[in-house]
Amino acid sequence: MTRDGRSWAERFDGSIRPALAPGEALLAASPLVADPGTTEDVSLRDELANLADPTIWVGLGAHPGTAGQRVIFGRGVIGPDGSVAHRVFAAVAAAGSPFLAVTDRRFLVVDRVTVPRPGAGRLARVLGAGDTEIRPLVDVPRRAVRSAAPAPKGVVRRARLLARFADDSVCALNCSLPGVRDDVVAALRSPV
């Protein structure tokens, strides 16, 4: 519940409603942030090459390696390329303002995009004068979501949840608000 007594689904309903079909009930919604977990297996050869790179040791290197990322954050996706989990993970990572919606029919990831109004001057566009559009990115029928569970708690995983899909792929999602995660998990566990 939010401070004003509304559920999180009620609070985010206006952000998600344009992507829903008439009569579709919104059970839970959450803004998302990209999960920092790895999507690939750890390659020992690549990790040793990374350790040999002196720029990483002085803080100039671009990436600490998949092993470090996996130790700190875990796996972001389990499953083959092209699986539902990979599609969901990629959509959240590419979106500017991703939202997750769980309805009575679907598991939906949308992106909130501000589109400049026609005729708005350059300054108005820079200052954000525009209309918000909801663009669906991934649409999964609820029957294709097998289970959901909160991920282990920790500093870097406070609002993380794991969603398992019918193709046996698993995706880690990070709700941007820790209190919303339990609502999303409960909605995904509810009968279809």
**The domain containing residue 98 runs over which residues?**
8-45+65-189
What confidence score (pLDDT) does residue 129 get? 63
36-77 pLDDT tens trace: 665 555 455 555 566 566 666 666 655 555 555 555 555 678
What confidence score (pLDDT) does residue 145 get? 94
1 assigned to some structural domain: no
Which ranges of the chain have pLDDT less than 50? 42
54 assigned to some structural domain: no
Q: What is the 3-class SS of 156-174, one letter each residue?
A: HHCCEEEEEECCCCEEEEE
156 assigned to some structural domain: yes
53 assigned to some structural domain: no
14 assigned to some structural domain: yes
98 assigned to some structural domain: yes
User: What's phi and psi for 119, nearest 5 deg?
Assistant: 85, -5
What confidence score (pLDDT) does residue 87 get? 93
- Total domains in the fold of the chain: 1
Separation of alpha carbons 4 and 140, rounded Å: 31
Q: What is the CATH number of the domain that holds 101?
A: 2.30.29.30
What confidence score (pLDDT) does residue 17 get? 86
